[in-house]
Amino acid sequence: MAEAKLAAKLQDQLAEKAAEVEKLKASIQASEQLKQLAVIEATTRVEKERDRLKADLELAEAQKALGEKALQEKYEQQIKDRDDAIERLRDMKAKLSTKMGGAGQRARAARATTSSATTPARCRATVLRRMAGPAPRSCRSCSR
């Protein structure tokens, strides 16, 4: 009987210890699950932040590229406008020089022919100077 009591007591203690072991195993498993859940939550937060920053960076790069393209197009348009203006001015200058050159030469030739007929021989240098450029106010050689 004493042995039966002792065996029952030992079995009770063994059952208590087995229950305590199971309880500790469950506690360990629960803490591991909590750790895994915390790791998953932290990883998810970090991934979301990374994705947001990546999207912000791509948006900033796209805006930068768009700004650069707009600026380049603006300056190319300005250069084209200036080139067109230069070409127009060159054309205008060529037309004016053609018109002015012909009229000026005819006028100088007319003055030279009328002057040479009535001017004394010593003023022929003055006539030649007048043909070459603007007419002087007075003739130095004949004091006119």
Residue 139, domain member (yes or no): no
pLDDT at position 45, please?
Answer: 97
Residue 33, domain member (yes or no): yes
- Which has more pLDDT, 52 or 141? 52
CB 142 within 8 A of CB 122: yes
Residue 37, domain member (yes or no): yes
Q: Which residues contact 135 (CB under 8 A, 6 or more apart)?
A: 111
Span 11-34, mean pLDDT? 95
Give the span between the Cα atoms of 113 and 103, in whole angstroms: 16
Residue 104, domain member (yes or no): yes
State the CB neighbour count (10 A cutoff) for residue 3. 7
77 Cα distance to chain centroid: 14
**Which two three-digit tokens encode residue 74?**
């603006």
**Three-state DSSP class for residue 139:** coil
Residue 138, domain member (yes or no): no
Tallying the residues shown for the chain, one arrives at 144
Q: Is the pTM of this model over 0.75?
A: no
Residue 144, domain member (yes or no): no
Residue 117, domain member (yes or no): yes
Residue 124, domain member (yes or no): yes
- Name the residue range of residue 113's domain: 2-132
**Three-state DSSP class for residue 143:** coil
How many domains are contained in the chain?
A: 1
- Which has more pLDDT, 104 or 116? 104
